[in-house]
Amino acid sequence: MKKVLQDLSFAETENLILALGEKKFRAKQLTEGLLQGKPVSQISSLSKPLKERLLQEYEDEPVKIKETFFSSDGTEKYLFELADGHLIEGVLMKYKYGYTQCVSTQVGCRMGCKFCASTLNGLIRNLTAGEILSQILVVNALHKTDVKGEGSQARAVTNVVLMGSGEPLDNYDETLRFLKNITAADGFNMSARNISLSTCGIVPKMYKLADENVPLNLTVSLHATDDESRARTMPVAKAYKIADILKACDYYFQKTGRRYYFEYTLIAGENCDETHADALIALLKGKPCHVNLIRLNEVKERTLKALDDKAAYRFLGRLEKGGLSATLRRQIGVDIGGACGQLRASYLKENET
């Protein structure tokens, strides 16, 4: 597999161009073309000999859209193909303020969460920073007429969520490199405040992230109020206790000034009666956090079942009455397999040989 140009910072791109004996301004032309989602071979401002030299070592298109699925609610889901043939997926959610894209950080996942389709086939490999970024670049190019902003900073994708296939903090170095590149003023120039990172709670990496000076929105998949219950659906709970996760979250707040978020998937018969609500209130009340309640997207390979809407709103009401800041997240893309890993898992099963 060749290298990925989108892995490089602008300074690294300049060094590459100079090493090839080209003028420095070619680095800007190359970067602008890549940020527009163009394959190297289609960047018209570069000479044919330069493109040929670049393509000897670097991928022309590290990420391609293999299939697109459209939901009745406007959500779009993409099956991406990587240069080595592996598949990942992403979701584009459309809001009045702009478009939010959910991206993958790994091919598959090794965390083993029982409610998530991403883990069904285990972890295949980590994505590079450029492969993570390229998911956004190709989708942004697809919607180039739906832009927010002006000039070189015109973007259709205004917000990014690292919540697709994979655990971002299990691919820490490449995830951090991606975050540095996408927020760079001479790169995509997205504010860190417009980026959310969802983790199952890898405590040492949470502390490390807090010290990186990338004040994004940290979101932790909680889904239970005690370690024993959490371990039934999230094997990672055997390694990292809730108390330690909360300490890491508080440290993140101290370092960044950013409140943190918890995802709590409502699973019928598992974590959503009144006693669970009261336990969640006792656990989180007074902390600088917000709870996102999520309706379970059922995975046919799993036995877990979703909670009905009436009970979900009752659970939300009890949290709010108890003093927690909480939201019941709008369910989107249900008709196109909008949950993490569902599209890839379905495609792989249908194409088994």
Confidence of residue 342 (pLDDT cuts 50, 70, 90): low
Give the pLDDT of residue 137. Answer: 97
Reply yes or no on whether the pLDDT at 352 is more than 70: no
pLDDT tens profile 156-168: 999 999 999 999 9
Is 89 an annotated catalytic residue?
Answer: yes
What's the pTM value of the predicted model, to 2 decimals?
0.93
Is 340 an annotated catalytic residue?
Answer: yes
Residues in contact with 302: Cβ distance below 8 Å, sequence separation at least 6, in sequence order: 114, 115, 117
First to last CA, the chain: 24
Reply yes or no on whether the pLDDT at 300 is more than 90: no
Which position among 14, 89, 174, 270 bears the catalytic label? 89
Reply yes or no on whether the pLDDT at 126 is more than 70: yes
Q: What does each C-alpha distance from 223 to 17, 19, 179, 230 come to in angstroms? A: 48, 51, 26, 7
pLDDT tens profile 198-241: 999 999 999 999 999 999 999 999 999 999 999 999 999 999 99
CA distance 309 to 25: 57
List the domains of the chain with CATH numbers.
5-57 (1.10.150.530), 63-350 (3.20.20.70)
